Amino acid sequence: MIDIGTLLTVFALIFVSELPDKTAIASLVLGTRFPLRWVFAGVGAAFAVHVVIAVAAGHLLTLLPHRAVETVVGLLFLLGAFLIWREGSEDDEMLAAEESADEAEVADVPANASFWKVASVGFGVIFIGEWGDLTQIMTANLAARYEDPLSVGIGAVLGLWGVALTAMLFGRTLLRILPMKIITRVAAAVMVVLAVVTLVGAIRG
């Protein structure tokens, strides 16, 4: 049974966490060079695979004693707050450098490449880039926190897909008008609150 509240909470946290991420920039670059549906097929598949892996890792955490799970989850929320705060501190020059690096990575792919070539490039860029990423850590953490793999998995996938589509459709405009630092600060604060609540729960047993 899907818990809509859990799904929406996970969606919001993952969406905001992924917005300033390097893989969002990669989606932007790919979306400006190739047909959007081809790029999204590869990017979306890579995100889905990572969510399955992360949810499975989070489920393994639930096999630990309850207090140990709460402690690990709380500490991971603090780590997530630190990582998203750091990512939100990147200036325009750093974002431009990341975009240039992504453009160089796909420069060898011809503009008339086939669907499978474009989709495989999109899959490869995201699949490699997401390992050990903030959203992967957060997804595993949320899976352990809520013990509802289906709701967490769907929420995380939709959040990641939402960021990818937003980057492809509105990326450069979004980067100009959206106060990314404010969004990441709010997200970091929410994660700190979740960390405190979780750690207090672990202390109380």
pLDDT in tens, 72-114: 888 888 887 887 777 666 555 555 555 454 455 555 555 667 8
Nearest CA to 13 out of 178, 136, 177 is that of 136
Mean pLDDT, to the nearest integer, of 2-16?
Answer: 89
Cα 70 versus chain centre, distance? 22
Mean pLDDT, to the nearest integer, of 184-201?
Answer: 81
Dihedral angle of Cα 138, 140, 142, 148, to the nearest 10 degrees? 150
- For residues 155 and 82, the model is more confident at 155
* Residues ≥6 apart with Cβ < 8 Å to 39: 27, 30, 31, 118, 119, 122, 168
This prediction has a pTM of 0.78
- pLDDT value, residue 21: 67
Token pair of 12, please? 């919001």
Dihedral angle of Cα 127, 187, 143, 137, to the nearest 10 degrees? 40
